[in-house]
Amino acid sequence: MRTIFLADAHLRAPEDDNYRLLLRFLEELQGTTDTLCILGDLFDFRIGLPQLSFDDHEPVIAALSRLRQAGARLIYLEGNHDFRLGSALAERIGAELHTGPVVVELQGKQVLLCHGDLVNRADWRYRLLYHMVRNPVLLWSGRLLPASVIQSIRQRLQRSSGGRYADNTARWDYRRIITDYAAHIRSQGLDAVVLGHFHLPLLERDGDFTLLAVGDWIGQFSYGELQDGLFTLTNYQP
């Protein structure tokens, strides 16, 4: 049995290197993978508003659909760049869609899957933004805005996201934040926690407990794997 964990591809355009490599990777998973867990931010921007179209996402959606048709189980957790996706997308690719952390049984292990954006409880600014952009009133209001306005907001956010990430990595000790969170999860009696968001590949084992942070699919092309009960962390080599 083989389970793959993937996060933070931040896909934009099909001609981008990480997009093309991900399509190749997904094709290689057909027939070799029982479960694919996508832990958020597969897309750099995707919000379920009816006036928005995401034609650039169609190739990867088709690839996921083919993987599902080949017999793989798909588990999709929303991130902070792709959320409020709705049942339509889940039905198209045949995925189990989760808006937040979820405990699943994988190969006999109780595993907590999460994107990870709420792990840093000290980052109150982000936590406030998280709840604001998911507010039902704000989302309803967003349906009234022209698509061009929303796309303009998206572009401004994308331009500033790199700077925010650099500032946050300088301010916060991500490794410590992740390991402290893993210790909390272990105290609940679970076997493993797997997360993304931090773009920090990390694999630690403590007895029967495993912490796996899968890194990203932007420049690292890293992903996690669970095979025959053993977690590993790998960089894709086409």
CA atoms 13, 16, 20, 22: torsion sign: negative
- Tokens for 65, please give them: 């659909």
- CA-to-CA distance for 42 and 216, rounded, in angstroms? 10
Chain-centroid distance, C-alpha 93: 16
pLDDT of residue 155: 62
Residue-wise pLDDT tens for the chain (238 aa)?
899 999 999 999 999 999 999 999 999 999 999 999 999 999 998 887 655 678 899 999 999 999 999 999 999 999 999 988 888 889 999 999 999 999 999 999 999 999 999 999 988 888 887 877 777 766 666 565 566 655 665 666 555 555 566 677 778 899 999 999 999 999 999 999 999 999 999 999 999 999 999 999 999 999 999 999 999 999 998 8
Q: Which of 128, 101, 83 is nearest to 184 (CA)?
A: 101
pLDDT of residue 147: 62
pLDDT of residue 141: 62
Sheet of strand 109-114, all strands in order from the earlier edge strand to the far edge: 102-106, 109-114, 192-195, 209-214, 201-206
pTM of the model: 0.90
Burial class of residue 73 in the structure, from the number of CB atoms within 10 Å of its CB (0-12 exposed, 13-18 middle, 19+ buried): middle
- CA-to-CA distance for 100 and 134, rounded, in angstroms? 12
DSSP letter string, 48-112: --TT---GGGHHHHHHHHHHHHTT-EEEEE--SSEE--HHHHHHHHTEEEESS-EEEEETTEEEE
- CA-to-CA distance for 172 and 200, rounded, in angstroms? 13
- CA-to-CA distance for 34 and 159, rounded, in angstroms? 37
- Tokens for 50, please give them: 């009816």
- CA-to-CA distance for 33 and 98, rounded, in angstroms? 21
pLDDT of residue 168: 74
CA atoms 71, 75, 81, 85: torsion sign: positive
- Decide if 165 contacts 123 (C-beta within 8 A): no
CATH dotted code for 2-235: 3.60.21.10
DSSP, collapsed to helix, strand or coil, labels residue 6 as: strand
